[in-house]
A and B are shown apart, each in its own frame.
Chain A
């Protein structure tokens, strides 16, 4: 299973699209939103948690369809399905690889983008913690959506339609945690919910995704 993880990481780094594209998209959202809403920095400060969370979510979405589609196209998914690696483990490893190339860099980049969005100083800690707790759920839910749509010719749009509603709770708790933390209110409840969603997704969603993949390979 470690082999799958290292292979996916290698592939993501070599093909270039993995690290760079998602981050660049995140940056673009953080730059374009102030341009769209005007130059008042107090407004930016209030919107920053939401914009950063929404940006993280959308950049995560960008690379989801590649999780299984590439392996499906070149046949390695079929071959892996008949190999000793259990399907659930495969899904978990691929989600983890996706998180390492998108969720983790997004979490690290977010404070920098917080500066240009005039996020108050108290918010940075909560921003990083909430993203670190929440982005694993984004990758796991996304892998589920990718598993559902893997056999489809034009699955990209459908994938967003399926995955975005599933992202709602994560988005609400994530942005809420940062907002509460920024304004000095207790943010631990939201963070605990966020951690619970990630943990629950990690425990259960790989089974659902593996089931969906097996059906799609039939």
Chain B
């Protein structure tokens, strides 16, 4: 097993490098100018100086290698320094990935915005999974019952209606008409007592519900299909015929096997948390990572776009490996060759 993980991680390195090259190259094609958003009164010579200082005019290869060095060497070193409170030699003149818009390190802004994304999107993902698994299992166990029919119909609706429409409808109903929940997420809110906790929960309600609906629909469809397949297997008949109670047959025999593919799907969906947050964060003005990427794209802030997009890609590759490893741990029939 350890060997397998090491081999997968090693083979992931070339993949990640190729992806980093593709993303860097595509984004670099963009005609964006780091001085584009500055006041028009700045003379061209100064603009040229700024461009040189940010390295915007370097040849493509130089920019790419510089970025690789900044991302894979400087940033991890910085991270270690800040976490363990140590200083490596040369930490003063280490160059980090600098945003063209804020002129500050991109990673610092990501770290600042990460909690909002994790709170809103992460909690809805956990909630969605917690609801979806029992619903899916029960729906499959009572196939063709009223619960199953209504359930699958609702799952299909939740799966088909895009989050940007549910989000806007929620705002119309709950913010504009009923005035129950605020439509804009206030990030400056610090939870200190019961009152602020209540405010925090209220402002989280709509984005979390919208995303939870979508996750639940997707996951329960999958759980239902997987459980149905297992309930028809011979070993279930064997379990019933040797006189086990229905509870044991379903909970210990069927569900445990049905959840193997579901667990891998949950792992595969985690990188999607960040990408899926793009739209929801935009609707409810949550200043998380997704909104940061949109701002960077609209403002032509190339280093930010490259870095954030690449982090998404690394997450996808990593969680693919996690899913495969989990599959092997959970399902003894899978052998690593």
Answer yes or no: do A and B interact. no
Q: Enumerate chain B interface residues (CB-CB to A < 8 A).
A: none
